[in-house]
């Protein structure tokens, strides 16, 4: 059985779901597999448990993630103050697809450090590997139902956000939850890795481009600025670098690394940052960003801001290297 400390909170979340006739589930903009998988899994679980309810998973559709299932585009005018459940996001302005939604209250389930979302029920736990792990624990410990597709999505979300159980956010609880998930669902999980890790050869060439052009400074800080024409040349989009950045976790010469991608459409730079030691989310938050201690993102608007961010990250590496001297 999965060990849960906050059983009462989970029961309260379940009770609120049971009480609500209409529910909208949302996650962060620029979603990753965990955000998409946890949202769709929770929607599907509520739907099969309470078929009479109206339950919607909202947010922009990302074609790369179509294997997880489709999202909903309800007309909010037809809803009557639904319950809003937000997953995998701590800040109000980063919730995707709820503009113009008049909701009654918010339930929040998230593993990022707390920010400005003020929820009626708030399950924030930065010790969890992923939002998918949290949704999985919610389902396994309440009367919410599971099926094969839900289990597959949750497995994918956990594997992806923990980078195959290799990141610091992986704990014995993660394994405990996954063990229970596999035991009750009996899913054939090995073929699922294709969904996360199969890539076209052009994307592998793009990985080679990043590797060949990554600058690593004397403080073990690595960075690359990826221009729009390079994205076009390799037939990838501005979201691709953040999907590849975890590949660089096991490189001795790197302490922190940042991929800066030109986002012409939105006239900003999209920065993904990862760390093997220094805390980076406090730095990212100075540049229109945030995230986890060791996995963050930012959206600086000018090249000057980008340079300042890169300098701050390099300095954090130097301070980290010198801290025991």
Q: How far apart are CA 197 and CA 205, in angstroms?
A: 15
Site of tokens 């597959």: 152
Footprint of ligand AMP on 113-142 (CB under 6 A): none
Q: Is 322 helix (H, G, I), strand (E, B) or coil?
A: helix
In the bound state with ligand AMP, the residue whose beta carbon lies nearer, of 23 and 284, is 284
Tell me which residue of 124, 127, 132 sits closest to 108, measured CA to CA: 124
Q: Which contacts (CB < 8 Å, 24+ apart) does range 234-239 have?
A: 234/202, 234/203, 234/205, 234/206, 234/209, 235/200, 235/202, 236/202, 236/203, 236/206, 238/262, 238/263, 238/265, 238/270, 239/30, 239/62, 239/64, 239/270
Which of 299, 308, 315, 318 touches ligand AMP by CB under 6 A? 299
Q: Name the minimum Å distance from CB 268 to ligand AMP.
A: 9
The reply on whether position 295 binds ligand AMP by CB under 6 A is yes
64: which DSSP letter? G
Stretch that binds ligand AMP, among 5-13, 36-44, 214-222, 283-291 (CB under 6 A): 283-291
- The residue sitting closest to ligand AMP, measured at its beta carbon, is 297
Q: Name the minimum Å distance from CB 233 to ligand AMP.
A: 22
In the bound state with ligand AMP, the residue whose beta carbon lies nearer, of 14 and 223, is 223
Q: 290-291 and 295-298: which strand pairing?
A: antiparallel
Which of 20, 22, 24, 28 touches ligand AMP by CB under 6 A? 28
Stretch that binds ligand AMP, among 50-58, 75-83, 95-103, 294-302 (CB under 6 A): 294-302
Residues 127, 130, 132, 133, CA torsion sign: negative
The reply on whether position 20 binds ligand AMP by CB under 6 A is no
The reply on whether position 288 binds ligand AMP by CB under 6 A is yes
Q: Which residues contact ligand AMP (rule: CB under 6 A)?
A: 28, 30, 32, 94, 112, 242, 272, 288-292, 295-299
């Amino acid at each position: 059985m999965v060990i849960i400390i906050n059983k009462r909170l989970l029961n309260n979340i379940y009770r609120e779901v049971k009480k609500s006739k209409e529910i909208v589930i949302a996650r962060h903009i620029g979603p990753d597999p965990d955000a998409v998988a946890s949202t769709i899994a929770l929607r599907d679980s509520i739907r099969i448990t309470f078929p009479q309810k109206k339950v919607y998973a909202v947010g922009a559709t990302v074609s790369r993630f179509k294997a997880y299932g489709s999202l909903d585009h309800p007309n909010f005018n037809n809803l009557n103050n639904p319950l809003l459940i937000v997953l995998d996001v701590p800040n109000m302005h980063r919730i995707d697809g709820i503009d113009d939604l008049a909701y009654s209250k918010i339930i929040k389930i998230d593993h990022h450090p707390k920010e400005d979302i003020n929820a009626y029920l708030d399950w924030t736990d930065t010790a969890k590997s992923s939002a998918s792990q949290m949704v999985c624990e919610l389902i396994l410990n309440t009367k919410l139902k599971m099926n094969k597709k839900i289990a597959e999505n949750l497995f994918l979300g956990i594997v992806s956000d923990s980078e195959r159980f290799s990141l610091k956010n992986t704990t014995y609880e993660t394994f405990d939850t996954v063990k229970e998930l596999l035991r009750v669902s009996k899913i054939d999980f090995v073929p699922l890795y294709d969904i996360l890790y199969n890539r076209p050869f052009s994307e592998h060439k793009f990985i080679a481009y990043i590797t060949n052009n990554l600058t690593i400074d004397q403080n073990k800080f690595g960075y690359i600025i990826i221009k729009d024409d390079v994205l076009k040349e390799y037939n990838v989009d501005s979201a691709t670098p953040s999907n590849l950045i975890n590949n660089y976790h096991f490189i001795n010469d790197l302490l922190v690394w940042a991929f800066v991608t030109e986002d012409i459409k939105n006239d900003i730079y999209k920065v993904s940052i990862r760390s093997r030691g220094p805390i980076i989310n406090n730095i990212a938050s100075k540049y229109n960003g945030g995230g986890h201690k060791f996995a963050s993102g930012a959206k600086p608007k000018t090249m000057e801001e980008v340079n300042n961010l890169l300098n701050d990250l390099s300095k954090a590496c130097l301070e980290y290297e010198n801290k025991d001297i």
